[in-house]
Amino acid sequence: MKKRILVTGGTGYIGSHTVVELQNSGYEVIIIDNLSNSSADVVDNIEKVSGIRPVFEELDCLDFAGLDALFTKYKGIEAIIHFAASKAVGESVQKPLLYYRNNLVSLINLLELMPKHGVNGIVFSSSCTVYGEPDQLPVTEQAPIKPATSPYGNTKQINEEIVKDTVTSGSPINAILLRYFNPIGAHPTALLGELPNGVPQNLVPYITQTAIGIREQLSVFGHDYNTPDGTCIRDFINVVDLAKAHVIAIDRILNGKQKAKVETFNIGTGIGLSVLDLINAFEKSTGVKLNYKLTDRRVGDIEKVWANPEHANNELGWKAETSTEDTLLSAWKWQLKLRERGIQ
């Protein structure tokens, strides 16, 4: 009998790649998603990639009664991977209450329902944004949590506290918090990838949309930072490598391998690359010349952040494997496939 995993936000960018990796590892997956930032045809593409169609129910995690009914309908869910959240830093500044309600109440609903339905494991999608501008680099899980620079970042910090307080309150729940750095790239089949609504906020989809001609020119936000080439530095992690970390975390919880009821891991490559480094790597791997200009800083940007991934490497046995060039090539192939399918 396959173990059942609930994936919230499973038609999203990281969620869909994680569903495939869970299926490849023998899990049965149930996806819930409110489709506010993704489309149901991702379910078809997941099936094309893995050969297995996951169960999909359109459902908002804010719908407590709906969630309760879902757990009753699909008995035996062993654990949850919770991706469903609003995640645009800039939008969160414009609409803070939408972010606080969506990102906090969704998690609270799940945690409240888990014990009632015998679901004792949760893997939570957190972010390096909780570190703010780290004092020391590379950043470890012990780095201080800095005051958030956006409501989005604040919701991630509060979410982590909600999980920790719940788990240590005597609840039967066990949890793993995965702090992602900058997820990029697409599935090697080019059937799954990032599909931002409207103008991309993140760097790599903006690069690929510029390269294919949807966008006129990429603006590099800031070139006077205290970095070797003046542009910001980030830890760009391949989305499939990131997805695999979630499967290892689920295995760890279900096989009782945890050393504490709540554990936290940085999921990054450990390599800091600047925005210009990434542009050069894109041009090198694809052979496509990118039209970009150096412009002013973007308000709220961190100057430099990259992970010390040793805890995940040693404890989870997980390591980023895919090269930046191969990752950027996968993003480009995805963009070309979107054009071929008439989607973008």
Residues labelled as active-site residues: 152
Of the candidates 220, 239, 242, 267, which one interacts with ligand WQD according to CB under 6 A?
Answer: 220
Buried b or exposed e, range 83-119, using 16+ CB within 10 angstroms: bbbbbbbebbeeeeeebbebbbebbebbbebbeebeb
Residues 232, 262, 316, 329: which binds ligand WQD (CB under 6 A)?
232
- The answer to whether residue 234 forms part of the interface with ligand WQD (CB under 6 A) is yes
CB of 79 to ligand WQD, least distance (A): 21
Q: Give the separation between CA 273 and CA 287, rounded to whole angstroms.
A: 19
Choice between 219 and 313, CB closer to ligand WQD:
219
User: Between residues 19 and 203, which has the closer beta carbon with respect to ligand WQD?
Assistant: 203
For every residue of 244-272, DSSP letters joined together read: HHHHHHHHHHHTT--SSSEEEEEES-S--
Residue number of the CB closest to ligand WQD reads 232
Type of residue at 245: A
Site for ligand WQD in 69-128 (CB under 6 A): 87, 89, 127
Q: Is 244 in the site for ligand WQD (CB under 6 A)?
A: no
Q: Is 229 in the site for ligand WQD (CB under 6 A)?
A: no
Question: Residue 126 or residue 174: which is nearer to ligand WQD going by CB?
Answer: 126
- Residue 160 Cβ vs ligand WQD, minimum distance, rounded to whole Å: 13
129 binding ligand WQD? (CB under 6 A): yes
Residue ranges of E strands in 52-205: 55-58, 77-82, 121-127, 174-180, 182-184
Cβ 88 vs Cβ 152: under 8 Å = yes
Q: Does 179 bind ligand WQD (CB under 6 A)?
A: no
**Residue 189 binds to ligand WQD (criterion: CB under 6 A):** no
Q: For ligand WQD, which is the closer residue by CB, 206 or 334?
A: 206
Tell me the closest approach of the beta carbon of residue 293 to ligand WQD, in angstroms. 10
Q: Does 7 bind ligand WQD (CB under 6 A)?
A: no
How far is it, in rounded angstroms, from Cα 169 to Cα 24? Answer: 35
Contacts for 150 with CB less than 8 Å, ≥ 6 apart: 89, 90, 92, 93, 129, 300
Q: Name the token pair of 2.
A: 């396959």
Q: With CB under 6 A as the contact rule, which of the stretches 63-71, 139-147, 170-178, 198-206 interacts with ligand WQD?
A: 198-206
Are residues 253 and 245 in contact, defined by beta-carbon separation less than 8 angstroms? no
206 binds ligand WQD (CB under 6 A): yes
The answer to whether residue 182 forms part of the interface with ligand WQD (CB under 6 A) is yes
Residues belonging to the chain: 344
Among 101, 261, 298, 311, binds ligand WQD (CB under 6 A): 298
> Which among 76-84, 95-103, 140-148, 213-221 is the span making contact with ligand WQD, rule CB under 6 A?
213-221
Considering only residues 263-292, where is the footprint of ligand WQD by CB under 6 A? Answer: 275
Cα separation, 286 vs 120, in Å, equals 45
- Strands across the sheet containing 4-8: 55-58, 28-33, 4-8, 77-82, 121-127, 174-180, 262-267
Instruction: Tell me the window of 72-80, 105-113, 170-178, 197-205 that interacts with ligand WQD (CB under 6 A).
Output: 197-205
Indicate whether 301 belongs to the interface with ligand WQD (CB under 6 A): yes
Minimum gap (Å) between residue 181 Cβ and ligand WQD: 8
Residues 160 and 126 sit within 8 Å (Cβ to Cβ): yes
Measured CA distances, 78 to 29, 123, 196, 255, 336 (Å): 11, 12, 31, 11, 38
* Total binding residues toward ligand WQD, as defined by CB under 6 A: 18
Query: Where on the chain is the footprint of ligand WQD (CB under 6 A)?
Result: 87, 89, 127, 129, 182, 201-203, 206, 218-221, 232, 234, 275, 298, 301
